[in-house]
Amino acid sequence: MFSQASRPNVLGAFRSKPRSTFSFFSARTLTNDVKPFYGQAQARQTDWRRVAMTVGTVGAAFAGTHLFLNRETRDALSPAEQSYLHSTFAYTAGGLALTAAGAGLMFRAGVPYRLMKANPWLVLGVSLVGSIGTMMGAMATPPENGLVKHSFWLAFNLCQAATLSPLYFMAPALLGRAALYTAGIVGSLSYVGATAHNDKFLYMGGPLLAGVTVVALSSLAPMVFPAMSLRALAISESIYLYGGLAVFGGFVLYDTQKILQHARMAQAGLIPSDPLKESISLQLDFMNIFIRLVQIMGMSGNRRK
């Protein structure tokens, strides 16, 4: 219904306002945030309690989402739909693993420091060209040309890794919690989309496109209008963070049902089977939700200090 290139790249996390360029990643470094590993037993008990609360929260959110959005479920997925969905999620998990590992290696190699010294507009332009170019190459290459297609896919994940490498300035515990929350959100919404009636959420394509446009503009507003008032900047940031969570949560529902629709079309011989192409949408959804959760949790931690 709309081009993948219309979605905001995950480089939205590199906004230069309202704080200075890249200050989001440098404000809470590992040196400032990580408590010594040899902490007391009480700290470990608190961590276990937090883990239990996190699991309970994710479970409750999953149950609530299922009951609220999916009161009328469809029949069981066909074997073809199950296979296509499993292959797509396997590529999604593989892409996320490559991105995380690549970002960690680039962080150790000092890539984030070079990014912070570079012109933010240059970084934005190179990231957009590299990410969108490799993404479109991976999506447009026929599945029969597996080597070229997977090469584009690998290059796409490396571009995302370079963009996300500054996140490793954050405390590992915060990144772990954000990843767990993101997995819970994406997993529960994907389940709702997979078990809902066919095409129930496909109508959301148009509204989501409008929503993602608003979110993208809100992320660019501080860069285009640096003289905005603090109140306007706060509103813009809230739209980017919380509006983005809602929009990309909707994209998870939409993309899951689109994958199942394409599975049925591929089974009928109308389109080629291409789980790798489908996985890119879910991967972008996951990364955009993850980045926003990291920012929200980091800001919340700063307020408590």
Give per-residue pLDDT as tens, 84-132: 999 999 999 999 999 999 999 999 999 888 888 888 777 778 888 899 9
Q: Is residue 4 part of a domain?
A: no
Q: Is residue 97 part of a domain?
A: yes
**In this predicted structure, which of 76-80, 103-107, 149-153, 233-237 has the lowest mean pLDDT?**
233-237
Q: Is residue 24 part of a domain?
A: no
Q: Is residue 70 part of a domain?
A: no
The pLDDT assigned to 83 comes to 93
Q: Is residue 264 part of a domain?
A: yes
Q: What is the DSSP letter of 170?
A: S
Q: Is residue 305 part of a domain?
A: no
Number of domains in the chain: 1
pLDDT tens-digit map of 259-302: 999 999 999 999 999 999 999 999 999 999 999 999 988 887 66
| CA–CA gap between residue 101 and residue 128 (Å, rounded) | 21
Residues 6+ apart with CB under 8 A from 82: none
Supply the range of the domain harboring residue 177.
76-300
Instruction: Give the helix, strand, coil percentages of the chain, each rounded to 5.
Output: 80, 0, 20
pLDDT tens-digit map of 211-235: 777 777 666 666 666 656 677 677 7
Q: Is residue 47 part of a domain?
A: no
Q: Is residue 232 part of a domain?
A: yes
What value does the mean pLDDT take over residues 17-38? 35
pTM of the predicted protein model: 0.72
